[in-house]
Amino acid sequence: MLIKDKKIAIVGGGPGGLTLARLLQMKGADVKVYERDANRNVRVQGATLDLHLESGLRALEEAGLMNAFKANYRPGADRIRVLDEHAKIFYDQHAGESIEAFGEEWFRPEIDRGPLREILLDSLQADTVVWDSHILSLEPIANTWKLVFQNGNIAIADIVIGADGANSKIRPFITPIKPFYSGITALEGNVYDSAKNAPKIHELLKGGKIFAFGDAKTLIVSAKGDGSLAFYTGCKMDATWVKDSGIDFTDNKQVLDWFKNEYAAWDAIWQELFEYDKGYFIPRPLYCMPLDQTWDAKANITMLGDAAHLMPPYAGEGVNMAMLDAVELSEALTTSAYPTIQSAIAHYEKQMCLRFAEVAQETLNNTDWMHSPNGLQIMLDMFNEIPS
């Protein structure tokens, strides 16, 4: 095996990095995951994830983790309601029983990010993840890499894999290609105990997902298993809006004022999400890697997930693609098909970039129409539910 006796450093313990660690360990590889979070108990933020048959679910299958997934996914959480800005429901998947249809292409079961991370962490050998390892830089030393961490620690590895997300510190060692701004900035937020703290939206949400459209803006809300809800707004903004707006995003009064103004055409019911003052807000200008990106494969360093192919979230593919990358990279590194690690990496990166170009095109198309005046209608057409 190409990676026999090689020390592999995966930088970043998100869904992509942890899935890769699991798949490589199943083949006997020597793997460490360097993760900046202080420990495994750090609360995992963000909305729920729907996993797709050909990518996220396939990765879990190959990792031998489908039973763990089935014990932790949230039946019914995939049910969607499509609303307009006045909170009028135009399309509703809540009628009927929840059907467990694993193996069907259309079945996209939901899991919260926290439980998914737990499943992956529990599948790894003890001490695989080195917590509190915020990487600062890499230095090539002969045929190895020296990893330098913020806490003063260092590590040496034969192969480095960047799984450190959107602002990857590893990516510049592979390519200088930078992402471009999609034109949309999201504002991510959450409400703990939504039944108590945002009762009207909680009622509308019914344990599932809301996609709301109006005035060329979006609001996507998901119920989480711990009784909280997560949401993100989406509007056309300048790339520098977060800084230029002068808003202190830790001050929910300022954020509420912004929402009332920016979403003035929307019903006051939505303001419930911003009136709750114990959550958090994270503004996210949404970037995308160039669709035609390619580079020459390096001898002993590569990347996966958002580090490799960041894109806006409007096709729900980011985690799914990161987990599929893990499957394909682990296969390339552990088969006997390639004479060198560099040629295995080249094969993986070529198919990863081709797949990304296709998925990113769909994502950018979605990003565009969802933030157009016809967003609601196009979404309804997609569900084949045109209102009369």
Nearer to ligand FAD, 14 or 207 (CB): 14
Tell me the closest approach of the beta carbon of residue 70 to ligand FAD, in angstroms. 19
Q: Which region among 11-19, 60-68, 200-208, 291-299 touches ligand FAD (by CB under 6 A)?
A: 11-19
Cβ neighbours for 370, distance < 8 A, ≥ 6 positions apart: 213, 218, 234, 314, 378, 379
Q: Which residues of 116-136 are buried (b: 16+ CB within 10 A; e: fewer)?
A: bbebbbebbeeebbbeebbbe
Q: What secondary structure does DSSP assign to 154-223, as a single string?
A: EEEESEEEE---TT-SSGGGT-----EEEEEEEEEEEESSHHHHSHHHHHHHTTSEEEEEETTEEEEEEE
> According to DSSP H, which parts of the chain are helical?
15-26, 56-62, 66-72, 113-122, 194-197, 199-205, 241-244, 252-262, 272-275, 306-309, 318-334, 341-370, 375-382
Q: Which region among 35-43, 266-274, 329-337, 363-371 touches ligand FAD (by CB under 6 A)?
A: 35-43
Tell me the closest approach of the beta carbon of residue 131 to ligand FAD, in angstroms. 10
Nearer to ligand FAD, 83 or 184 (CB): 184
Is 17 a binding residue for ligand FAD by CB under 6 A? The answer is yes
The one among 162, 214, 279, 318 contacting ligand FAD by CB under 6 A? 318
355 labelled ligand-binding: no
Give dist(CA 87, CA 263) in Å, integer: 13
Is 11 a binding residue for ligand FAD by CB under 6 A? The answer is yes
Is 313 a binding residue for ligand FAD by CB under 6 A? The answer is yes
Going by C-alpha positions, the residue among 106, 148, 123, 150 that lies closest to residue 67 is 123
Is 3 a binding residue for ligand FAD by CB under 6 A? The answer is no
The one among 77, 157, 319, 327 contacting ligand FAD by CB under 6 A? 319
Q: Which region among 153-161, 317-325, 343-351, 365-373 touches ligand FAD (by CB under 6 A)?
A: 317-325
The one among 35, 85, 112, 349 contacting ligand FAD by CB under 6 A? 35
Give dist(CA 22, CA 16) in Å, integer: 10
Site track for ligand FAD across 162-201, x = CB under 6 A: -xxx---x----------------x-x-------------
Site track for ligand FAD across 321-350, x = CB under 6 A: -x----------------------------
- What count of Cα atoms within 13 Å lies in the side-chain half-sphere of residue 47? 29
Contact 145, 160 (CB under 8 A): yes
The footprint of ligand FAD on this chain (CB under 6 A) covers a number of residues equal to: 33
Give dist(CA 120, CA 113) in Å, integer: 11
306 labelled ligand-binding: yes
Binding residues for NADPH: 43
**Site residues, ligand FAD (CB under 6 A):** 11-17, 34-37, 47, 49, 133-135, 163-165, 169, 186, 188, 232, 284, 305-306, 313, 316-320, 322
